[in-house]
């Protein structure tokens, strides 16, 4: 087994297809090296070694790789013509983490490794640059101390000991920036850093470069199981056994003076998807400085610099910082970089996010990856790449992350409301969207309010969880490539960064702009598309969908073979879903129609009636209301099929439980309060979900089924007179035996025939059933003899297959997920292994007696991409989901085919 893969000097052992083994970073470093991009030479220790380490521990693992690593270091030495640990001509290296998927900032990296008291002197002599050598040394001790020796602060109340020492010195010397330290300052810092390491760890800082290297490799492996990485993995559902690779690479130095620097760039705009090269850089700095938002970086392109200045016009100081662009300052380097970004985007056929470093006028590329982007950018970039001929239609569909489409469907600020809005400051439009919420200043307090805006000087990887909870993110410092900006775009969360006019005090928990003070809990709004920060709340409205969005949907329908329907109970929802492309309704829940104020009373009268006659009387009043509902829905669906489920919930849900409402009802019905109370008590069930509900209602009170059928058929016939086609599919819920179904079917068909006679006209309709009781799946062959269609109600099916009450699962499911007893919430993601068997069996057995049986799904799972794929594989005719999930399901349905 090969455990160490080399790259550099225009060749490599690995390539970009090997990301599972080499991690994304390692695979792309190898690929770039092979296609002639200038990458500092190095090697990758595979993710498999990480897994081995987790089993075998440190000593055994190092034994496995020691020889290979030593030889690979020798290879770097040969290419760079330097020597690791040699104090006259030293090689310094970086030790970088890199999992198969990019987890920005979640794991650890150590730079400038190989320095000690002798080597630093040699480095200074060789480069004739004392400042650079000592700056690198102090950075190294700081990073190594944090990452390998465990001296990173653990909570927000903890102070980073190294930062503290630096702040102290800055105060003493009355300076603000790291770059203002003198060589003597840096030497003092190194001395103090080593001192604090000794105090905290009880050991001297390791001076042997090899010992440093082994320590760093193990630390990177450990960072795979660090808190940040764990949380990120959980959020995205990445399994623990993927592991991280370790990339060891020759250092190139961006901190060698004014002809050196470092930066991050994107081949397209990650926020909007616009095809413009953009990015940020810092002169005389090392990698981390840009992302950490320590200094506000400058723009790479002149166009970007102009746009930035326009946005920052409210702050003259900040504007000065944005000039000059790299394009103006180092035109030759810029041209070279521009060439590489073009080459890399063509090569990878996707938007790239790159890191680069300039060492004394020479450009090096340190990383490239498919860039994280917002939902809007994803749609635009995909369609643009298709039009540019870089990808084909199938690749376009497959490159869409269905759930990210959700971002595009959410409300945006109402344009009229925006005109009246009071803009208090402006920052960079780091991630588009609209967010309104209450100010919080600490990530671990983001849950304090239902809608919070995380407001910080800058964010760091520790803040991930809070950023995920917050509705929007606002920072005073950092550019478009700062941690806050990158992470927010990845989450599709609204973010404004680098709003220099904000003065934030963590201690007082205040935000001050132009003398006005805002406190924790105050409402603000962020317009992530313009960078405007607005006082108070702003009204929102429906978003307008871009042309590219429509094009993606069209493509999806071209390749998708499964129909996508919607779950809708009202004409309004039906219309929304039609606009999103729903090809019918897979589930109209009739009970929702009864909860409207003027109807619930009649409904209660029906339930409280003691006699069939009394019940029928109330049902007569309900009939015209139901009929009107169905007319509205049929009309909205304009000839597409509509599946209507007969009354399903236990009647207990409809009766009043509060004394006041019970009194009111008693008066309205001219009966005693006691009678009402008795009836309510009578309806009480020990286990309502398994009680008197579903077709059990229709079978005990057939007059309800009768009324509902009449309303459906009359509505369809009324519309027919107006020339509108309706295709009702009447669905009997919670069937477990064939006779249960047949009893209901008889009532339905008899009623329909009666209505046909009365109208002297007919329409086509179907009578089918939901498969949601496990027994129905087992008996599907016999049920299919009578049923025209099956619709899998996977909510109830999951509930009954697991025996988890949906209403009580909140008490134990979170713990099950935490402990790994379950890997996903089965009510969210269909349990394909278990519940999926019932779905498969039900479909197969059903079709064994009725080969053309129409089969669909109408649980929450109908809009969840992996479940949609499963439904396709099972041979379903359609999936049905809530209106806002229809676009997601359409893309997922197309992806299932490809």
For position 433 contacting ligand ADP by CB under 6 A, the verdict is no
C-beta separation of 761 from 720 below 8 A = yes
- Quote the CA–CA distance of 428 and 495 in Å, as a whole number: 8
- Quote the CA–CA distance of 44 and 18 in Å, as a whole number: 11
- Interface characters, 367-406, with Mg ion (x: CB under 5 A): x---------------------------------------
Q: How far is the CB of 379 from ligand ADP (least distance, A)?
A: 26
440, two tokens: 């919080």
Q: Which residue is nearest to ligand ADP (CB)?
A: 287
111, 141, 326, 474: residue in contact with ligand ADP (rule CB under 6 A): 111
User: Would the annotation count 566 as a binding residue?
Assistant: no
289, 350, 796, 864: residue in contact with Mg ion (rule CB under 5 A): 796
**Of the two residues 24 and 641, which places its CB atom closer to ligand ADP in the complex?**
24
- Interface characters, 25-54, with ligand ADP (x: CB under 6 A): ---------------x--------------
* Whether 858 is catalytic: yes
77, 269, 327, 355: residue in contact with ligand ADP (rule CB under 6 A): 355
For position 743 contacting ligand ADP by CB under 6 A, the verdict is no
Task: For the chain, report the end-to-end CA distance as a whole number of angstroms.
Answer: 34
Q: How far is the CB of 469 from ligand ADP (least distance, A)?
A: 23
**Strand (E) or helix (H) holding 326:** helix 326-329
User: Would the annotation count 794 as a binding residue?
Assistant: yes
- Quote the CA–CA distance of 448 and 427 in Å, as a whole number: 25
For position 500 contacting ligand ADP by CB under 6 A, the verdict is no
**How buried is 286 (Cβ within 10 angstroms: 0-12 exposed, 13-18 middle, 19+ buried)?**
buried
Residue 15, helix vs strand vs coil? coil
Q: How far is the CB of 300 from ligand ADP (least distance, A)?
A: 15
Q: Please name the residues in contact with 644: beta carbons below 8 A apart, sequence gap of 6 or more.
A: 588, 590, 630, 708, 712, 728, 729, 730, 731
Write 853-856 long-range contacts (CB < 8 A, 24+): 853/784, 853/787, 853/788, 853/789, 853/790, 854/766, 854/768, 854/788, 854/789, 854/790, 854/878, 855/789, 855/790, 855/791, 855/792, 856/563, 856/565, 856/586, 856/643, 856/789, 856/790, 856/791, 856/792, 856/880
User: Would the annotation count 645 as a binding residue?
Assistant: yes
**Of the two residues 143 and 839, which places its CB atom closer to ligand ADP in the complex?**
143
Alpha-carbon 682 to chain mean position: 46
Segment interacting with ligand ADP, rule: CB under 6 A, options 103-111, 308-316, 555-563, 716-724: 103-111
What is the size of the binding site for ligand ADP (CB under 6 A)?
Answer: 17
Q: How far is the CB of 201 from ligand ADP (least distance, A)?
A: 24
Q: How does strand 434-440 pair with strand 452-456? A: parallel
Which residue is catalytic, options 50, 265, 495, 858?
A: 858
* Whether 483 is catalytic: yes
Segment interacting with Mg ion, rule: CB under 5 A, options 151-159, 386-394, 654-662, 792-800: 792-800
User: Would the annotation count 751 as a binding residue?
Assistant: no
Which residue is catalytic, options 50, 265, 483, 871?
A: 483
DSSP codes, 675-743: HHHHHHHHH--SSGGGSS-THHHHHH-HHHHHHHHHHHHHHHHHHHHTT---EEEEEE-S--SHHHHHH
Segment interacting with ligand ADP, rule: CB under 6 A, options 243-251, 677-685, 744-752, 856-864: 243-251
Q: Which does 105 bind (CB under 5 to 8 A by kind): Mg ion, ligand ADP, none?
A: ligand ADP
Cis check: omega of the bond before 324, within 30 degrees of 0: yes
**Of the two residues 458 and 548, which places its CB atom closer to Mg ion in the complex?**
458
DSSP state of 652: G
745, 772, 831, 869: residue in contact with Mg ion (rule CB under 5 A): 772
> Can you state the percent helix, strand and coil of the chain, rounding each to 5?
50, 15, 30
Which residues within the stretch 258-287 sit at the binding site for ligand ADP (CB under 6 A)? 287
85, 105, 846, 865: residue in contact with ligand ADP (rule CB under 6 A): 105
**Of the two residues 295 and 380, which places its CB atom closer to ligand ADP in the complex?**
295
Alpha-carbon 420 to chain mean position: 32
- Quote the CA–CA distance of 687 and 846 in Å, as a whole number: 30
Neighbour tally for 597: CB within 10 Å:
6
**Of the two residues 357 and 532, which places its CB atom closer to ligand ADP in the complex?**
357
**Of the two residues 367 and 567, which places its CB atom closer to Mg ion in the complex?**
367
Q: How far is the CB of 251 from ligand ADP (least distance, A)?
A: 4
Q: Please name the residues in contact with 745: beta carbons below 8 A apart, sequence gap of 6 or more.
A: 732, 767, 786, 787
Q: Tell me which residues touch ligand ADP (CB under 6 A).
A: 40, 94, 96, 104-105, 109, 111, 249-252, 287-288, 355, 357, 366-367
> What residues are designated binding site for Mg(2+)?
772, 796
> What residues are designated binding site for substrate?
589, 645, 772, 793-796
* Catalytic positions, written as ranges: 483, 858
> What residues are designated binding site?
589, 645, 772, 793-796
Q: Tell me which residues touch Mg ion (CB under 5 A).
A: 367, 772, 793, 796
């Amino acid at each position: 087994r090969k455990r160490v893969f080399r790259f550099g000097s225009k060749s490599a052992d690995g390539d970009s297809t090997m990301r599972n083994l080499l991690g994304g970073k390692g695979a792309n470093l190898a690929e770039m090296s092979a296609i002639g991009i200038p990458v500092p030479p190095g090697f990758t220790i595979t993710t498999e070694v990480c897994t081995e380490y987790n089993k075998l521990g440190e000593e055994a693992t190092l034994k496995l790789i020691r020889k290979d690593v030593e030889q690979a270091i020798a290879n770097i030495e040969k290419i760079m013509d330097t020597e690791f640990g040699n104090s006259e001509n030293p090689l310094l290296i970086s030790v970088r983490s890199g999992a198969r998927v990019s987890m920005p900032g979640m794991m650890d990296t150590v730079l400038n490794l190989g320095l000690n008291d002798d080597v630093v002197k040699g480095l200074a002599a060789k480069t004739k640059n004392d400042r650079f050598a000592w700056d690198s040394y102090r950075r190294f001790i700081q990073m190594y101390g944090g990452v390998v020796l465990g001296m990173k602060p653990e909570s927000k109340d903890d102070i980073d000991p190294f930062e503290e020492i630096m702040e102290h010195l800055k105060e003493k010397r009355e300076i603000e920036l790291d770059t203002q330290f003198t060589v003597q300052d840096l030497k003092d810092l190194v001395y103090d850093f080593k001192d604090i390491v000794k105090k905290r760890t009880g050991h001297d800082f390791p001076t042997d470069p090899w010992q440093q290297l082994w320590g760093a490799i193990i630390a990177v492996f450990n960072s795979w199981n660090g808190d940040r990485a764990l949380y990120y993995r959980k959020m995205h559902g990445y399994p623990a056994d993927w592991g991280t690779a370790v990339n060891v690479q020759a250092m190139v130095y961006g901190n060698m003076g004014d002809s050196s620097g470092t930066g991050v760039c994107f081949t397209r705009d990650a926020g909007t998807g616009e095809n413009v090269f953009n990015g940020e850089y810092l002169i005389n700095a090392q990698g981390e400085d840009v992302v950490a938002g320590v200094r506000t970086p400058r723009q790479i392109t002149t166009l970007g610099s102009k746009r930035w200045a326009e946005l920052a016009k409210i702050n003259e100081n900040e504007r000065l910082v944005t000039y000059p662009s790299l394009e103006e300052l180092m035109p030759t380097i810029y041209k070279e970089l521009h060439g590489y970004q073009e080459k890399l985007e063509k090569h990878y056929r996707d938007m790239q996010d790159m890191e680069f470093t300039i060492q004394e006028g020479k450009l090096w590329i340190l990383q490239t990856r498919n860039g994280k982007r917002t939902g809007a950018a994803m749609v635009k970039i995909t369609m643009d790449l298709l039009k540019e001929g870089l990808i084909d239609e199938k690749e376009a569909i497959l490159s869409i992350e269905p759930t990210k489409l959700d971002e595009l469907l959410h409300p945006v600020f109402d344009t009229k409301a925006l005109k009246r809005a009071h803009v208090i400051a402006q920052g960079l439009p780091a991630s588009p969207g609209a967010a309104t919420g209450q100010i919080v200043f600490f990530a671990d307090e983001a849950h304090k309010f239902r809608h919070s805006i995380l407001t910080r000087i800058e964010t760091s990887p520790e803040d991930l969880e809070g950023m995920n909870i917050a509705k929007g993110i606002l920072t005073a410092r950092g550019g478009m490539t700062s941690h806050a900006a990158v992470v927010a775009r990845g989450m599709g969360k609204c973010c404004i960064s680098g709003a220099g006019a904000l003065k934030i005090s963590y201690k007082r928990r205040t935000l001050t702009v132009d003398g006005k003070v805002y406190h924790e809990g105050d409402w603000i709004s962020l317009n992530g598309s313009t960078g405007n920060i607005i006082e108070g709340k702003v009204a929102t409205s429906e978003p307008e969908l871009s042309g590219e969005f429509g094009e993606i949907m069209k493509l999806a329908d071209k390749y998708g073979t499964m129909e996508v329907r919607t779950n809708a109970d009202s004409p309004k929802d039906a219309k929304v879903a039609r606009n999103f492309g729903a090809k019918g309704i897979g589930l109209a829940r009739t009970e929702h129609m009864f909860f409207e104020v003027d109807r619930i009373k009649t409904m209660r009268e029906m339930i409280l009636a003691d006699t069939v006659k009394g019940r029928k009387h109330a049902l007569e009043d309900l009939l015209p209301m139901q009929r009107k509902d169905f007319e509205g829905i049929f009309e909205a669906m304009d000839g597409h099929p509509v599946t209507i489920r007969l009354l399903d919930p236990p009647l207990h849900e409809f009766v009043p439980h509060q004394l006041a409402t019970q009194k009111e009802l008693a008066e309205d019905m001219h009966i005693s309060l006691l009678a009402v109370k008795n009836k309510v008590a009578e309806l009480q069930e020990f286990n309502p979900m398994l009680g008197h509900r579903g077709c059990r209602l229709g079978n005990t009170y057939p007059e309800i089924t009768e009324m509902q059928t009449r309303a459906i058929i009359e509505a369809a016939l009324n519309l027919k007179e107006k020339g509108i086609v309706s295709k009702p599919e009447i669905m009997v819920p919670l069937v477990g035996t064939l006779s249960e179904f047949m009893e209901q079917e008889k009532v339905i068909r008899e009623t329909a025939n009666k209505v046909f006679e009365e109208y002297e006209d007919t329409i086509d309709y179907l009578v089918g059933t939901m498969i949601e009781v496990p027994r129905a799946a087992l008996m599907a062959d016999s049920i299919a003899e009578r049923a025209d269609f099956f619709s899998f109600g996977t909510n109830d099916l999951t509930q009954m297959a697991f025996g988890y009450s949906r209403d009580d699962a909140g008490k134990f499911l979170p713990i099950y997920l935490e402990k790994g007893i379950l890997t996903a919430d089965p009510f969210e993601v269909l349990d394909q292994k278990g519940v999926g068997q019932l779905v498969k069996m039900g479909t197969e057995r059903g079709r064994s007696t009725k080969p053309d049986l129409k089969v669909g799904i109408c649980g929450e799972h109908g809009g969840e991409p992996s479940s949609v794929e499963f439904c396709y594989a099972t041979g379903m005719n359609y999936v049905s989901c809530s209106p806002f999930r229809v676009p997601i399901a359409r893309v997922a349905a197309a992806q299932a085919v490809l």
